[in-house]
Structure 1
Amino acid sequence: MHPSRAPSPIRNALAAPRFRRLFIANTISRWGDTFNAVALVILVFRLTGSGIKVAGTVAFEIVPVILLGFVAGYVVDRFHRTQVMVAADLGRAAIAFGLAFAHGQLWFIYAAAFGFSSLSVFFNPAASSVIPALVEEDDVVGANSALWSAAVISQIVLAPLAGALVAFAGPGPAFAINGASFVMSAVLLTRLKIPRPAEVPRTSWHQVTEGLRVVRASRFLSVLTGVQAIAALSAGATSALLVVLAEDHLRVGPTHFGFLLAAIGIGAAAGPLLLQRLTREVRTPLFLFGPYLLRGTVDLGLAASSSFVFAVPLLGAYGIGTSTGMIAYNSALQRNVADSVRGRIFAFYDVVWQSSRLLSIGIGGFLADQLGITVVYALGGALLLCA
């Protein structure tokens, strides 16, 4: 068969009925996530006017990963992963509906962010771990590309609408949309049939921390750990404080902030299409680590220019780096790690990433308030180049 007529990896993955169900559920919940993300950062910045308070919101999303990550990985490997995902979705729906009606106090917003993240700690490694059971091995990259493409297309379409909705109707409706999306996702996932995970011994600290031992025994996984930690030291602050960059450096409001998020989404949508044209083998330094070079260059450009027009294509390039890097990372782990410990490995990397991200946000929020947001982006770009 001529290469140009070869079946699309994304199309192959979506042809699998069980993966298609996961894909639809994930896409619907991503719609709600987009409204929630835009509303949350705008709300906190309007309530406080402080970059460090905005960073505090993200910090409350990170702490549960550090506290619960290893336990969540064990739960994902020991219990039925579909049940774990459904329970997490229903819990997040309850929090979202509560936030829709009570969002005037900063402490409640922080508590909601903490609750969302606590449940996502269980949902995310479960969803990542089931993919190899839903598609053929050659379609793992296509499956990850499909999930990322749907997520970022949702961002492209909905982020500007979310910004406009918050500007004209306030954040309440955006949070309600998020709650409804979690309910719909849970309904779809209740009928997702997957094999039960391999038998895992009952809870012991040895079993909970098994992922750490697996990583230490693998040179590839150890190197990936170091790179992820350095990259998170950059991305934590720059992603959390994008709203501050928009309002203080680029001098734009909520609607334009939505367009900045959409620019990232456009680039991230292009990333999977580019990746599937180039290769199905993503376990190479070019595809695993090259995206950090691209993103670092973008951060330096954002620090150097206050032009909104210039920032839009730069953030598009950032989106390409984000999606291609994440697809390569997820696919490499799914192919290199045994199913019996896959949940714990994904949870371990979540802990590594979020621990470094928390440190980054704390330092970045302080620097943004004391020295300005451009210093944060300049330092973030330098760290990504090092990674």
Structure 2
Amino acid sequence: MTGAPARKPGLRDVFAQPGYRRLWAARTVSQWGDVVNTVALALLIYRLTGSGLGVSGVVAAEIAPVLLLAPFAGPLIDRWPRVRVMVASDLFRFVLAAGLAVWHDAPAGVYAIAFGMSIGAVFFNPAASSVLPTLVPKEDLVAANSGIWTAAVLSQIALAPLAGLLVTGVGYGPAFAINAASYALSALLLRGLRVPSPPEHLERRRLLADAREGVRVLLRHRLLRALAAGQLLAALSAGATSALLVVLAEDHLGVTGSGYGLLIGAIGIGAALGPLALLRLIRQPRRPLFVFGPFALRGVVDLVLASVTALPVAVAALVAYGVGTSTGAVTFNSMLQAETPEQVRGRVFASMDVLWQGGRLVSLAAGGLLADQYGIQVVYYLGGLLLLAAAAAGFSTVQPVHPR
């Protein structure tokens, strides 16, 4: 009817779609296992190696497959049925997680399995992101991504402490077995997923030629180029500031133990509230303001954290940081899904993964050196400036995007 207000999509709309419900359930169950696995893996490798460097080795083992394989995974995801890619990835990780539940006494074996499980994620994550736009209308993408993001955040808040208790109480094997079971259940749920709009046939060329086509799409599309720049600058910032929050807490804020836990909890609270506020308060969440604005919010928070020493102020700032992280992730992914051509989604999402993990790896290395040489405040000042640069790059590159 003429003059009627535009529909404001919400969680009820997307959960009314059977395909979305199935994808959401599979990703949520898998996230439960991932939380348990992350906690157990960090505790295990620290027990086996007795060093922080050993724990960092797990992070490196998880990042390396993205940098090595994503350029090849993207074209394959665009060639193959994406649901089958997700199922195969889950089954591959199920076998590895089941093996880790039985054999977890040698650091080399743990690193190898962490590397292998990341290979599965290299294929699963871009395929899942590529499938979502075929399950819900374009105007519902923000609500759809909000549902998945909120479930992941709440899973981490609720299950991370329980995972620590599980490892302490019954050992590492049962924790890894839970992760294996989550992959099996996810694969079972995804087997029944029907994608209404399969990707168009992709001409069989060399993988590198197909990968280059995905990069060309990123570089030539004005909005996608802005999103890629924001992704890289944010990774260069967040890789160090996230990992070194414990250093900020001790050296700058003067808190340890429960104080550090309070800071982590503040981020979690903000991250959980962000998508709910986005759906309830904002009518056009895919506007550039809500895609690139969260970069600026997080940048300001980093500058505040580097400047203040009062714990209450830092806690309040980190709640805002969590809101910026979650709303930014939801709107960023939604715009990327909406604007990327169907036939190159796998390659574009794989390229974004390379930018994120590569920037994160550089940031981790540089951040540690800067913190040791010049102090943790310099790391947070620089991180804040990088995030403000990401926001500025986005706002200066794109024109207002009007809802379709």
TM over 0.5: yes
Q: Is 1:159–1:262's contact at 8 Å kept on the other side of the alignment?
A: no
Q: 1:278 Cα deviation (Å)?
A: 3.5
In the other structure, the counterpart of 1:90 is 91
Between 21-30 and 305-314, the greater mean CA deviation after superposition? 305-314
Q: Which residue of 2 aligns with 1:197?
A: 199
User: 1:105 is matched by which residue type in structure 2?
Assistant: A
Segments of structure 1 that go 5 or more residues without pairing to the other structure are none
- 1:129–1:334 CA contact under 8 A, matched in 2: yes
**Corresponding residue for 1:118?**
119
Task: Note the alpha carbon deviations across 1:219-264, whole angstroms, 9 max, x for none.
Answer: 22222222211110111123344566678874227xx877655543
* C-alpha displacement of 1:315: 3.5
Q: Report the more deviating stretch, 31-40 or 339-348.
A: 31-40
CA distance in 2, matches of 1:80, 1:366: 44
Matched, 1:290 2:281: no
Q: In the aligned structure 1, how far is the partner of 2:262 from the partner of 2:30?
A: 21
Distance 1:25 1:149 in 2: 14
TM-score by length of 1: 0.88
Partner in structure 2 of residue 356 of structure 1:
359
Deviation of the 1:384 alpha carbon:
2.2
| Whole-angstrom CA distance in 2 between matches of 1:7 and 1:336 | 20
Query: Equivalents in 1 of 2:287, 2:381: separation in Å?
Result: 28
Structure 1 residue 303 displacement after superposition? 4.9
Aligned-pair identity (%): 55
Letter in 1 for 2:68: L
Question: Aligned-pair distance for 1:297?
Answer: 3.4
What amino acid maps onto 1:24 in structure 2? A
- Between the aligned partners of 2:241 and 2:175, the Cα distance in structure 1 is 24
Structure 1 position 231 matched with structure 2 position 234: yes
Find the aligned partners of 1:306 and 1:45 in 2 and give their Cα distance. Answer: 30
Query: Do the aligned residues in 2 keep the contact of 1:41 with 1:243 (CA within 8 Å)?
Result: no
Task: Indicate yes or no: 2:256 matched with 1:251.
Answer: yes
Task: Tell me the CA shift for residue 33 of structure 1.
Answer: 1.3
Q: Deviations over 1:52-93 (max 9, x none)?
A: 443332222111111111211111111111100011111112
1:298–1:381 Cα contact (<8 Å) kept: yes
Q: Residue in 1 aligned with 2:395?
A: none
Contact 2:86 2:187 in 1 (8 A): yes
Q: How far apart in 1 are the matches of 2:233 and 2:148?
A: 26
State the alpha-carbon separation in 2 of the partners of residues 362 and 310 from structure 1. Answer: 28
Tell me the TM-score normalised to structure 2 length.
Answer: 0.84
Q: Decide which moves more: 116-125 or 214-223.
A: 214-223
- Alignment partner of 1:67 is 2:72: no
How far residue 24 of structure 1 moved from its aligned partner, in angstroms, is 0.6
Determine the structure 2 residue equivalent to 1:218: 221
User: What secondary structure sits across from 2:84 in the alignment?
Assistant: helix
Counterpart residue number, 2:159: 158
CA deviation vs aligned residue, 1:165-184 (integer Å, no higher than 9, x gap): 34444444332222211111
Deviation digits for residues 69-128 of structure 1 (CA, Å, limit 9, x no counterpart) = 121111111111110001111111222222333334333332222112111011011101
1:281 maps to which of 280, 284, 287: 284
Q: Higher mean Cα deviation, 369-378 or 20-29?
A: 369-378
Please report how far the alpha carbon of residue 159 of structure 1 lies from its aligned counterpart in structure 2 after TM superposition. 2.0
Which secondary structure does the structure 2 equivalent of 1:200 belong to?
coil
Match of 2:402 in 1: none
Mapped to 1, the partners of 2:74 and 2:95 lie a distance apart of 23
Tell me which amino acid in the other structure corresponds to 2:223. Answer: F
Assess, with a 3 A threshold, how the Cα gap between structure 1 residues 22 and 367 changes in structure 2: closer, same or farther.
Answer: same
After TM superposition, the structure 1 = structure 2 runs for residues 301-340 of structure 1, keeping only pairs within 5 Å, are: 301-303=304-306, 312-340=315-343
- C-alpha contact (below 8 Å) 2:9/2:140 kept by paired residues: no
Deviation at 1:189, TM superposition (A): 0.4
Between 77-86 and 6-15, the greater mean CA deviation after superposition: 6-15
Task: Tell me by how many angstroms 1:358 deviates.
Answer: 1.3
Aligned length: 385
CA contact (8 A) 1:300 1:381 kept: yes
Residue 127 and residue 77 in structure 1: after superposition, are their counterparts in 2 closer, same or farther (change >3 A)?
same
Kindly indicate whether the alpha-carbon contact (under 8 Å) linking 1:52 and 1:369 is maintained by their aligned counterparts in 2: no
Q: Report the more deviating stretch, 358-367 or 335-344.
A: 358-367
SS at match of 1:282: coil
| Residue of structure 1 equivalent to 2:177 | 176
Q: Is the 8 A contact 1:145 1:327 kept in 2?
A: yes
Closer/same/farther in 2, CA of residues 156 and 88 from structure 1, 3 Å limit: same
Larger Rg computed on CA atoms: 2
The alpha-carbon deviation at position 4 of structure 1 amounts to 11
Distance 2:235 2:81 in 1: 30
